[in-house]
Amino acid sequence: MRAARSDLPLSLDDVSLIVGATTILDRVNLTIGPGAPTLILGPNGSGKTSLLRLCMGLASPSRGAVSWGGRTDGGPESRAILFQKPVMLRRSAAANVAYGLAQAGCPRGLRARRTEELLDRVGLLALALRPARRLSGGEQQRLALARALARQPEILLLDEPTASLDPAATRFVEEIVRAAAHSGTKIVMASHDLGQVRRLAGEVVFLVRGRVVEHASASDFLDRPSTPQAAAFVRGDLVL
């Protein structure tokens, strides 16, 4: 259920993430407020997943601080994350959603109806009784979204949810994400797809080798990239 205190803005203040001799994120300063989706864009290995894990409170910075609505401890109170590969319980699609609702504190008597609503929202009502692990990749991704939305999160972090999906499945997932954003959930989503920026983003955080190279509105990023790396990415050149 939605917390009384807000987790926004989500702020990273001079954050580095260092593992052994590797600097994964390098002095990141970033403030993410409410509003249209924030897309974390960057090539493979640029640090997108690591940044999402810090935003979620699942990893601690080696230096600097992460804060949620001004708090620096405990992570965000009202959030959900979707990893690159969703992990499904060995139960039906409906049971996976019901589990998410139970975790979110939804009273037992309301769970069946809420499960139905959520499955309907992601277009999986007809597959409610199918074992979740038998669903296709795109269907599993939608089921994972239903489970995440069961928490009614203030912040929904998505790690490349459409990376292995075809255009039809991608459109389906993007519609669900857009609807969640319209109903007030803050979307923070990793992507390496420029088309997705055009279709979904309010703003872009562009990462290259662990550094935030650009943080701009989607239209500025696309029309007036201010760094050579961003310009190359927008042109479709390979940014290494």
Ligand X SMILES: Nc1ncnc2c1ncn2[C@@H]1O[C@H](COP(=O)(O)OP(=O)(O)OP(=O)(O)O)[C@@H](O)[C@H]1O
What are the structure tokens assigned to 193, written together?
Answer: 């797809």
Quote the least distance from Cβ 50 to ligand X, whole Å.
Answer: 3
191 binds ligand X (CB under 6 A): no
Query: Of residues 37, 47, 76, 100, which one binds ligand X by CB under 6 A?
Result: 47
Q: How far apart are CA 179 and CA 152, in angstroms?
A: 13
146 binds ligand X (CB under 6 A): no
| Binding partner at 225 among Mg ion, ligand X, none, C-beta below 5 to 8 Å by kind | none
19 binds ligand X (CB under 6 A): yes
| Contact between residue 82 and residue 156 where contact means Cβ atoms under 8 Å apart | yes
131 binds ligand X (CB under 6 A): no
50 binds ligand X (CB under 6 A): yes
Site pattern 41..60 for Mg ion (x: CB under 5 A):
-------xx-----------
Q: Tell me whether residue 48 or residue 111 sits nearer to Mg ion (CB atom).
A: 48
| Contact between residue 5 and residue 170 where contact means Cβ atoms under 8 Å apart | no
What are the structure tokens assigned to 229, written together?
Answer: 């790396």
Choose among 14, 25, 71, 16: nearest CA to 47: 25
Q: Tell me whether residue 79 or residue 111 sits nearer to Mg ion (CB atom).
A: 79
Q: How far apart are CA 154 and CA 77, in angstroms?
A: 9
Q: Tell me whether residue 59 or residue 127 sits nearer to ligand X (CB atom).
A: 59
Q: What is the DSSP letter of 76?
A: -
Residues that contact Mg ion, how many (by CB under 5 A)? 2
Q: Tell me whether residue 19 or residue 179 sits nearer to Mg ion (CB atom).
A: 19
Residue 32 vs residues 29, 175, 215: alpha-carbon distances, Å: 10, 22, 10
| Contact between residue 155 and residue 8 where contact means Cβ atoms under 8 Å apart | yes
Q: Tell me whether residue 83 or residue 99 sits nearer to Mg ion (CB atom).
A: 83
Of residues 184-223, which lie at the interface with Mg ion (CB under 5 A)? Answer: none
44 binds ligand X (CB under 6 A): yes
The helix or strand, by DSSP H or E, that contains position 13, with its residue range, turns out to be strand 10-19
Q: How far apart are CA 206 and CA 220, in angstroms?
A: 12
22 binds ligand X (CB under 6 A): yes
Measured at CB, which residue is nearest to Mg ion? 49
| Contact between residue 42 and residue 52 where contact means Cβ atoms under 8 Å apart | no
Contact residues for Mg ion (CB under 5 A)?
48-49
Contact residues for ligand X (CB under 6 A)?
19, 22, 24, 42, 44-50, 192
